[in-house]
Amino acid sequence: MTTTAAFTSRSNNSAGANAIASPPNNLKSAHRTHRAEVFDRRRRQGRDIAESLVARAEYLLPKDRALINAIYRDGSSAREVASLTDATPRAVRRRIRSLAQRVLDPRFAFVIIHREQWPPTRRKVATETILHGLPLRAAAKSLDLSLHTVRRHADAIRVMYEALGR
């Protein structure tokens, strides 16, 4: 192969590669439209999740409710909230992530829906452990119950939740 032939074949290959790498204009606009639809869907899902978080925040402790409302309802940033609470933005983001996971957990909704039908002690245990996120020992201490009693009620709640096939 001569150098001219090698040069032309290389230039043809690069032109072919460029043709493949850059789709025609009608494909580009279709791709942009699809990306816009996907982005809008993500934004809508984000709004739905934020609305759900704010609605369920009613069942949280007041300080946790205020944090969820500041971020998801009022649109404050973690940095703004951190400056008001003397915490680091990283700590605020970590707390928000933890609260969001707990509030969006299906067990949280299960307890909200069913707790009024339960005996008072089970209702209190469910509120402290699942809605407020306390560990069993802390819930036992706050409710002035034995750890065994709290664990027994927590297990009963878990069994009821699993029995519904969640």
- 90 in the same domain as 57: yes
Q: Does 65 fall in a domain? A: yes
What is the per-residue pLDDT across 67-115, written as a single tens digit (0 to 9) for each?
Answer: 999 999 998 899 999 999 889 999 999 999 999 999 999 999 999 999 9
Q: Which pLDDT score, from 0 to 100, does residue 18 have?
A: 44
- 65 in the same domain as 54: yes
pLDDT at 37 over 60: no
What domain count does the chain have? 2
- Read off the DSSP letter of residue 133: -
Token readout for 62 is 């007041």
Q: Does 9 fall in a domain? A: no
Q: Does 20 fall in a domain? A: no
CB count, 10 Å around CB of 22? 10
pLDDT at 59 over 90: yes
Mean pLDDT of 135-147: 97
Question: Residue 93 in contact with residue 78, Cβ under 8 Å?
Answer: yes
Question: Residue 59 in contact with residue 112, Cβ under 8 Å?
Answer: yes
Token readout for 125 is 């245990």
Q: Where are the alpha helices (DSSP H) in the chain?
A: 3-21, 25-56, 62-68, 78-85, 89-104, 106-114, 120-126, 136-143, 147-163
Q: Which pLDDT score, from 0 to 100, does residue 86 have?
A: 87
Q: Which pLDDT score, from 0 to 100, does residue 45 have?
A: 55
**86: phi > 0 → left, psi -120 to 50 → alpha, else beta; which?**
left
- 40 in the same domain as 83: yes
Residue 133 belongs to domain with CATH number: 1.10.10
Report the predicted TM-score, pTM, of the whole model to 2 decimal places: 0.69
Cα-based angle 73, 78, 84 (whole degrees, multiple of 5): 90
